[in-house]
Structure 1
Amino acid sequence: MKKTQIAAQLYTVRDFCKTAEELEASLNKIKQLGYSAVQVSGIGPIAPELVKEITERIGLTICATHISYDRLVNDLEAVIQEHLSWNCKYVGIGSLPDSYRTSKAGYIAFAEEFNIISDKLASAGLQFIYHNHHFEFTKFEGITGMDLLFQTASPSFGFELDLYWVQAGGANPVDWINKVSGRMQVVHLKDMAIVENNPVFAEIGEGNLNWPAILQACRDSEVEWYVVEQDTCLRDPFESLAISFNYLQNLV
C-alpha cells in the first residue's frame, strides 16, 4: 500500500457536502490531511460536471462511487457517462435493497440482475463493486447471503468488502479478503471499538481489528484503493479521517 492509494469516503463527511460550496471546502480539508483520492457517496445534488471541476481543481482523484439501486437499474447510461467523465473506474452500490435481503432466492436474484449490469459496465471499461454490511452474513438453509452473492456473481461482478461489517457479521475479514482475491480492487476500512459494552465505529487503529494481518491480506490480494470510511464519528469527522490516515500511512 502506498499513501497515494489511501482515499476518503465522502459519506464520512456527508453533512458537510450538501452544496457545491460545502463540497469544495470539505475536499480542500481532505486534501490538506494528505489524502489523494475520494469516493463520491452521500453528497448533495451537485451536478457531475461541477464535481469534476472541483475535484480536478483541488487535485483529488475520484477513485470510486456509491450509486443508488434505482439509478443503476434505470439510468445506467448516464451513470456510465458520469464515471467516464470523472475517469473513475469503480461503480459501487452502497447497500442491498431491503426486498432482496430476506431469502436465499432474493440474494440469488440480485446477483443475477447485477451480473447483467456488471457486464454492461465492463463493456464500457468500468467495474461494478458491491459494498456489504453485516446482514449479508445471515444464513439461509445453511449458507450466508454473502456466500450466495459470491457463488452466483459473474466474473464482472466485483466486491468492495467493508471489513468492519464483515467482523460485525461474525465472519473473519482476512478469510473474506482471501476469498475475493482478484475480484476486489477497492476495500473499505474502519475500526470497531467497544464502548459501554456495545460495538461502535472507530478510527483505524483505535479499535480491535487486526490491521497488520488485514493490510497484508489486502496487499497479497492486490487491492488498488484503501478507502477510509466511518459511518458515525464521536469527534469531528475530519479529525477522524486524519487519525485513520495517519495510522495507515505509518504502515506503508
Structure 2
Amino acid sequence: MSIIALQLYTVRDETARDFAGTLRRVSELGYPAVEFADYGGLSIPQMQALLAETGLQALSSHISLESLEQRFEQETAYALAIGCPTLIVPWLPPHQRTTEALTMLAGTLNHLGRKARACGLTLGYHNHDFEFAPISDKNPTLVLDYLIEQTDPASVSFELDTYWAAFAGVDPVEYLQRHAGRVTLVHVKDMTPERTFTEVGAGILPIAEIVAAARTSGVQGFLVENDQPRIPSLESAKRSLQFLRMLPE
C-alpha cells in the first residue's frame, strides 16, 4: 500500500524556527512519514531520536546532485542511519540542461544509482516544468523522457511532480500510465485556475484520477507539497492530508 508523506519544504517557515517542534506537529497532524528538504542541522543521533519520538518514517530525502557527487559517503551514511531508503535529486541548474550536459547527467545518475543500490538505497530524480521541454530544436524528445530512457531502471527511479507536469501542459495521469514502473514516488500538488499553488483538492487538477493512476502504475509513496502556501503552512499540510484520506483506496 502506498504511504502519504509531507515534503517538509511545505513548512520550511516553521522548520526554520523550530525543526524538531515542527516535525512533532507534522506527526500530530496524522502524517506517518516525511520527505526531507534538509535535516535542520541535526546530527544522526538527534534525528534518530526525533523520528523515534514522533513515529515518523523518513520516506525520502532531497539531496542536491552536487552534494551526492562530492559527499556521497556522508549523505548515504546519514540516510542509512535514519532509515531513509530513497535519495532524490531535486533540481537541475540551468547550465546542466544542455544536450551535452544531459548526456553526462544520465551517466552520472546511473553511476550514483548503482552506488546507492550497493548501499541498499534508491536514487531518484524529481522534475520541474523544464523537463517537459524538448532537449533542443533538433531533438524533440522531452528532457524527462530522455532521462527515463537513458537511465537503468534497476538503479534510477523518478519522482513525478504533478503540479509541474500540468503546468508544462502534460497530463500527469497519462504520464504515469506511460511510465509505469519507473515513477515510484509522486509529489501530489494542486493548481489554482490562475496556475498558482494551493492545497490538494482545492484546485483544478484531477487528484483522484492521478492517485488512482499512480497506485496502478507502481507508485510507492505520495508526497504532499505546497511550494507557496497562502495560509499557515501547517494548516495547508493538514487540509491536503485530510483530502487525500477521503479518496478511496
- Give the TM-score, by structure 2 length: 0.93
Could you tell me how far apart the structure 2 residues matched to 1:180 and 1:120 are? 24
1:72 aligns with 2:68: yes
The 5 Å alignment of 1:44-193 reads 44-101=40-97, 103-139=98-134, 140=136, 141-155=139-153, 156-193=155-192
Could you tell me how far apart the structure 2 residues matched to 1:175 and 1:239 are? 31
Structure 1 equivalent of residue 22 of structure 2: 26
Of 181, 190, 200, the residue aligned with 1:204 is 200
Aligned length: 244
> Is 1:10–1:43's contact at 8 Å kept on the other side of the alignment?
no
> Is 2:122–2:156's contact at 8 Å kept on the other side of the alignment?
yes
Q: CA deviation at 1:123?
A: 0.9
Q: CA deviation at 1:83?
A: 1.2
Q: CA deviation at 1:183?
A: 2.2
Q: CA deviation at 1:43?
A: 4.8
Could you tell me how far apart the structure 2 residues matched to 1:108 and 1:178 are? 25
> Is 1:132–1:160's contact at 8 Å kept on the other side of the alignment?
yes
Structure 1 segments unaligned to the other structure (5+ residues)? none
Q: CA deviation at 1:166?
A: 0.7
- Give the TM-score, by structure 1 length: 0.92
1:13 aligns with 2:8: no
SS in 1 for 2:59: strand
> Is 1:129–1:158's contact at 8 Å kept on the other side of the alignment?
yes
Aligned AA for 1:145?
A: V
Structure 2 segments unaligned to the other structure (5+ residues)? none
Quick one: percent identity of the two aligned structures?
32
Could you tell me how far apart the structure 2 residues matched to 1:148 and 1:222 are? 20
1:220 aligns with 2:216: yes
Residues 76-102 of structure 1, C-alpha deviations (whole Å, 9 max, x = no match) = 11111111111111111110122212x
Residues 183-223 of structure 1, C-alpha deviations (whole Å, 9 max, x = no match) = 222211110112xxx31001011111111211111110121
Ranges of 4+ aligned residues in structure 1 off by more than 6 Å: none
Could you tell me how far apart the structure 2 residues matched to 1:109 and 1:99 are? 12
Note the aligned Cα RMSD (angstroms).
Answer: 1.4
Q: CA deviation at 1:16?
A: 1.6
Could you tell me how far apart the structure 1 residues matched to 2:179 and 2:73 are? 28
> Is 1:18–1:45's contact at 8 Å kept on the other side of the alignment?
no
